[in-house]
A and B are shown apart, each in its own frame.
Chain A
Amino acid sequence: MSPDRLATLSDQLVLAAILLYLAAMVGYALELAFGRVTETVRERKLVSVGGPAEEVPEAAAPEPASWAPKAGLAGTVALWLGWAANVGGTLTRGLAVDRWPWGNMYEFVVAMLLAAVTVFLFLQVRYPVRFLGAFVAVVAAIGLGFAVRVLYTQAGPVVPALDSYWVAIHVSAAIAASGLFIVGGVAAALFLVRKEGPSRLPARADLERVAHRVIVIAFPIWTFAVISGALWADKAWGRYWGWDPKEVWAFITWVAYAAYLHARATAGWKGKAAMIVSLIAFACLMFNLVGVNIFIGGMHSYADVSK
């Protein structure tokens, strides 16, 4: 296929991914709305595998609809299909431009959401986290929509500074870490929205557990992304750290997530306080991506967003 055809195919696949993510959201949401009510106190498999599962009596709740699990399953299928379209969109873009498909902000956001959905699907295979599906799906759909509407740039070559194997190392790490942090951010946000007690929303303990688990994995990857960024800067600009706005915010994000881990591990903060810290950190991550690229600039102004 010619590069132009591939580029067009890539655009179509990204659109397909948006629609499928929306479908997945509907499926998952129906299951949440008409399925079982969850309670904070009930010990889920995710919380403790070994200990005896304590059965807490169900609160008086309406009988769950019998078709609800099927809707959830349909959501899962749609999410897998959307994921496949997202993978295809990124792959064809890479083939069309003959380089790593994360050379500008549009491509980066598409890949980052792909990473987030991948993380979620992986978690779903291993742990019972279907309750998060609707929220991950809607974030992925909105994110991709934003990328297509606001950030879109025609497929093409990158500036010489970006034509480097460091893209594969540094940007890939940033994408992987961001994907994980997004899942953590979704769980933390839900935690704050959900009140204690019975609710249609997932149990707080589960949400906190998921958030912690992904952040613990993401933090070393983010550390690596920052360090490999410094290595690249040392190659490209002659200093490994220059307090460029992008670097400043990568550092702030890192410190904020370190503070979250610290708060949990050493200060013993649990629940709301720790979740709020993690959300502050997540906000820093997002500001670095959107705010710094669009409003501040600096040497990292490779976002290539059409104005």
Chain B
Amino acid sequence: MSDSWKSAIAKVVASNELAVEKILNEYPYVVELAERLRETKLRVIDDLQAYVDKAMKGVERSGGHAYMAKTKDDAKKIVTEIVREAPTREEGKRGREKKKTVVLAKSNVAYEIGLRDHLIKEGFEAWETDLGEFLVQLRKGWPVHLVLPSVDLTREEAGKLVHGIDKSVNEDSSIEQIVAAVRGFLFEKYLAADVGITGANAVSADTGSVVLVENEGNIRMDTVMPRTHVVVTGVEKVVPTLRDAMDEAIVQSAYAGLYPPTYVNVTTGPSSTADIESHRVSPATGPKEFHVVFIDDGRIAASRDENLKEALLCIKCGRCYFACPVYRELGRNWVGTGSPYNGPTGVVWNYLTNGDPWPAFLCTHSGGCKEVCPMKIDLPTIIRYVKSVGEKRLG
């Protein structure tokens, strides 16, 4: 990667380290929550299918619809059909024939299955609404990091990209001007959107609730403005209770260096109100339809593999990337564009979801990843196992 990448990542590494240290000092309960969350998630991994089944029942009980997708293609098919059947913004009208507008919140799982490009190919208009992901979409690229997808971009580069959707912005624009232009553009998309698609930081098995944490406010808009809200999530995001799901949101945001988070969104079923005669009707202000697509894509098999299952503890905070000297040198070029996952956890997740062991061989077992991981995942040992799998394929 270029010198500008190295300079950008060096700044981010330093600021993330200092930010997380400050957070953990000011809010020491986060460390306790992380330890407890690890134990809870290990229990779930050992009985993953049962927890997923319970979560699916919870979603249905709340008035939503739950689906299980074994593969990437299954997931794309399910989501496409939901979008096709989704009601349009004209009340009561199912618009299979209408070109739908979809807004997406940052979701690594959506990238994993190739969802946005697939929806566009199917004739829908699809827009990322997280600023970093929006910039990735404009540059027709791939995210560089789980939480900071465009951290490699300079202000000038961002300005040039946004010029494509707002001629008042260019490489001389300030960051504030760029963000304002993107906000104005996306607001129109929120108002026009028929479907909002998000991922999930956690899904509670007891209530079927989806918890999402953010700072921009786009997730809030994606989950409330459109008539249909679709969640795409890996099955490893299921935790036993809503309290556990809230804990995961807290731990993820703290170790990503962004705590307290600006917004935590909890979605349980479609919107409703019982303000008149205590008679509950749906929808109210928010979506009429709520769908959760649980995706396997190698996760269930991994949960039964002693060498891999610990990888499912990953809460996608991205901290391990910053501790990795190989990632700091190679950036996105390490795992490439076959996967949104990069860095130490990404090397494992790329293997888990794509069956690709080769990026693992560039790991030097520096070990910082294990030190910084809030879930204490022994990444060096798991990566060594992935190397051994690759070695067997050499023939």
Q: Do A and B come from one complex?
A: no
B residues lining the A interface (CB < 8 Å): none
Interface residues of A (CB under 8 A from B): none
